[in-house]
């Protein structure tokens, strides 16, 4: 049994301009202890996908299945889901200020979270645990910072507090949605190190959502690239970086800082499409440097790419030949 199993998930929102199809036929699994990176531009559906799995989307029409530890997340009651959130699934978001209560001291918030999940523990013991957790995530003078209000801490410190809360109950799964996007580069690296370290210590699986392939370069086992609400490529991390198939993945790679990547492709130009009226055929075709006639009329399914383990572990939704992987010759031949 997979830890998390999502099958044919579709999420649509009614809008005045028509149905907005935010998540389109997404299936994936996460195994215990594994790290999955979900990568795509903003508006690719990656956040909505995981929010839906957690029961945090409102007013949406949802079809498909999502199982966590064998339990059906989409049909359980809100109370059951609340029991899982925090205790079995921890979450950290881009902006801790939106998830931390501004009027309560951070230590109190950690204590309440621990107690809310039915851990039989005195307030005194929970406070001691909060201090221990703050120390654990690298907050200096934790016995004083435990009484700080969120606004008294830097962005990086607040994110550390969020990580401490998310990890307090040693969840089986940690969902991190752009946890470093609001932070400067040095702090970003420290926070990623911290997540990696805690993950190894606790043994949690991680779903890391990011617009930046660089963020998951160090920690993901598997990467799912999303575009316009749907998965366009799925592969082991090394395959994504060294033998990507989908032109969108190649574009994301070539936008990484020079030195990390050598590529003859330019970065992707243009904007992601409207999720209300998607382009015909391949949704990426208006931006794709390799577009062919077929791409304009037929939507490519997610299909197995040649090579790899031959076990379907490398899949791409693109009409380019299935052996057209890598950043090199195959691609240029297609272009010629
Ligand atoms: Fe480009 Fe065609 Fe592949 Fe879409 S299917 S990514 S348009 S080559
Ligand atoms: Mg987002």
Number of domains in the chain: 2
Mean pLDDT of 175-179: 92
- Among 43-57, 86-100, 144-158, 273-287, the range scoring the smallest mean pLDDT is 86-100
Other Cβ atoms closer than 10 A to 119: 14
pLDDT of residue 145: 95
Atom of ligand 1 nearest to the CA of 283: 4
Nearest ligand 1 atom to alpha carbon 300: 5
Whose atoms come closest to the Cα of 210: which ligand? 2
Could you say which of 216, 250, 267 is where a domain stops? 216
For residue 134, report the phi and psi dihedrals to the nearest 5 degrees: -60, -40
Q: Which residues contact 269 (CB under 8 A, 6 or more apart)?
A: 287
User: Closest-lying ligand to the alpha carbon of 290?
Assistant: 1
Give residue ranges with CB within 6 A of ligand 1: 246-247, 282, 284-285, 288, 290-292, 295, 300, 318-320
pLDDT for 335:
38
Residue whose CA is at the smallest distance from ligand 1 atom 6: 318
Co-location of 163 and 227 in the same domain: no
Whether 121 and 206 map to the same domain: the answer is yes
pLDDT tens string 143-176: 999 999 999 999 889 999 999 888 888 899 999 9
CATH number at residue 323: 3.40.50.300
Query: Do both 201 and 261 map to the same domain?
Result: no
What percentage of the chain reaches a pLDDT higher than 70? 91
One domain, residues 132 and 235: no
Beta bridge partners, 174, equal 90, 206
| Same domain for 150 and 15 | yes
Q: What mean pLDDT do residues 96-109 have?
A: 88
87/130 same-domain check: yes
> Same domain for 127 and 189?
yes
User: Which ligand has the minimum distance to the alpha carbon of residue 93?
Assistant: 2
pLDDT of residue 310: 54
What is the whole-number distance in angstroms between the Cα of residue 28 and the centre of ligand 2? 19
Of 268, 272, 292, the one to substitute when testing ligand 1's pocket (max ligand atoms within 8 A of C-beta) is 292
ipTM score of the complex? 0.97
Residue % of the chain over a pLDDT of 90: 62
- Secondary structure letter of residue 327 according to DSSP: S
Residues 209 and 239 in one domain: no
Task: Give the ligand 1 atom nearest the CA of 296.
Answer: 7
Q: Are residues 202 and 242 in the same domain?
A: no
Q: How far is the CA of 209 from the centre of ligand 2 (A)?
A: 8
pLDDT digits (tens, 9 = 90+) for 221-268: 999 999 999 999 999 999 999 999 999 999 999 877 765 554 445 568
Residue nearest to atom 7 of ligand 1 (CA): 285
More confidently predicted of 335 and 322: 322
Which range marks the domain in which residue 99 is found? 4-216
Q: Which of 161, 190, 216 is the last residue of a domain?
A: 216
Both tokens of 108, joined, read 């109190």
Average pLDDT, the chain: 88
| pTM attached to this predicted model | 0.91
CA 307 to the chain's CA centroid: 26
**Ligand 1 atom at minimum distance from 289 CA:** 1
- pLDDT category at 109 given cuts 50, 70, 90 is very high
333 pLDDT band, cuts 50/70/90, is very low
pLDDT band at 326 (very low <50, low <70, confident <90, very high): low
Please give the average per-residue pLDDT across 176-197, as a whole number. 88
156 burial level (CB within 10 Å; 0-12, 13-18, 19+): buried
pLDDT band at 93 (very low <50, low <70, confident <90, very high): confident
Structure confidence at residue 319 (pLDDT): 96
Nearest ligand by distance to the CA of 94: 2
* Residue 39 bridge partners (DSSP): 210, 225
Give dist(CA 192, CA 179) in Å, integer: 8
Same domain, 267 and 153: no
- What average pLDDT does this structure show over 123-150? 92
Task: Compute how many other C-beta atoms are within 10 angstroms of the C-beta atom of residue 259.
Answer: 6
Answer for the pair 1, 30: CB distance below 8 angstroms, yes or no: no
- Mean pLDDT in residue range 211-230: 93
Mean pLDDT is lowest, of 19-28, 227-236, 302-311, 317-326, for 302-311
Q: Which long-range contacts (CB under 8 A, 24 or more apart) does 68-75 make?
A: 68/3, 68/4, 68/5, 68/173, 69/1, 69/3, 69/172, 70/1
Looking at residue 298, what is its pLDDT?
A: 97
Strands 4-15 and 18-30: antiparallel
Query: Looking at ligand 1, which residue's alpha carbon is closest to its atom 3?
Result: 318
Residues 231 and 209 in one domain: no
Q: What is the mean pLDDT of residues 199-208?
A: 94
Q: Which of 216, 236, 258 is the last residue of a domain?
A: 216
In ligand 1, which atom is closest to the CA atom of 290?
8
Ligand 2 midpoint to CA 123 (Å) = 35
Ligand 1 site-directed mutation target among 228, 251, 283, 290, most atoms within 8 Å of CB: 290
Q: Do residues 116 and 168 both lie within one domain?
A: yes
DSSP code per residue over 84-112:
HBTTTEEEE-S-HHHHS-TTS-HHHHHHH
């Amino acid at each position: 049994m997979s830890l998390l199993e999502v099958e044919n998930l579709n999420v649509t929102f009614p809008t005045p301009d028509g149905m907005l199809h935010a998540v389109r036929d997404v299936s994936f699994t996460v195994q215990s202890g594994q790290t999955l990176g979900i990568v795509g531009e903003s508006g690719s559906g990656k956040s909505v996908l995981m929010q839906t799995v957690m029961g945090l989307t409102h007013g949406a029409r949802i079809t498909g299945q999502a199982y966590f530890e064998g339990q059906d997340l989409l049909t359980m009651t809100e109370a059951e889901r609340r029991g899982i959130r925090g205790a079995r699934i921890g979450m950290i978001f881009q902006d801790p200020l939106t998830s931390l209560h501004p009027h309560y001291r951070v230590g109190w918030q950690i204590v309440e979270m621990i107690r809310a999940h039915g851990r039989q523990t005195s307030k005194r013991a929970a406070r001691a645990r909060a201090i221990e957790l703050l120390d654990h995530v690298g907050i200096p003078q934790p016995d004083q910072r435990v009484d700080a209000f969120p606004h008294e801490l830097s962005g990086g410190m607040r994110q550390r507090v969020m990580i401490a809360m998310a990890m307090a109950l040693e969840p089986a799964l940690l969902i991190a949605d752009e946890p470093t996007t609001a932070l400067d580069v040095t702090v970003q690296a420290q926070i990623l190190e911290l997540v990696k370290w805690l993950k190894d210590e606790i043994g949690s699986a991680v779903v890391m959502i990011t617009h930046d392939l660089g963020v998951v370069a160090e920690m993901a086992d598997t990467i799912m690239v999303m575009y316009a609400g749907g998965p366009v490529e799925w592969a082991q991390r090394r395959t994504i970086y060294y033998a990507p198939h989908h032109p969108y993945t190649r574009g994301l790679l070539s936008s990484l800082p020079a030195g990390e990547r050598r590529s003859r492709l330019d970065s992707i130009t243009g904007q992601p499409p409207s999720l209300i009226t998607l382009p015909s055929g391949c949704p990426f075709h208006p931006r794709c440097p390799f577009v062919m006639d077929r791409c304009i009329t037929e939507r490519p399914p997610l299909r197995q790419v040649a090579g790899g383990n031959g076990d379907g572990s490398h899949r791409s939704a693109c009409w380019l030949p299935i052996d057209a992987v890598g950043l090199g010759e195959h691609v240029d031949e297609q272009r010629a």
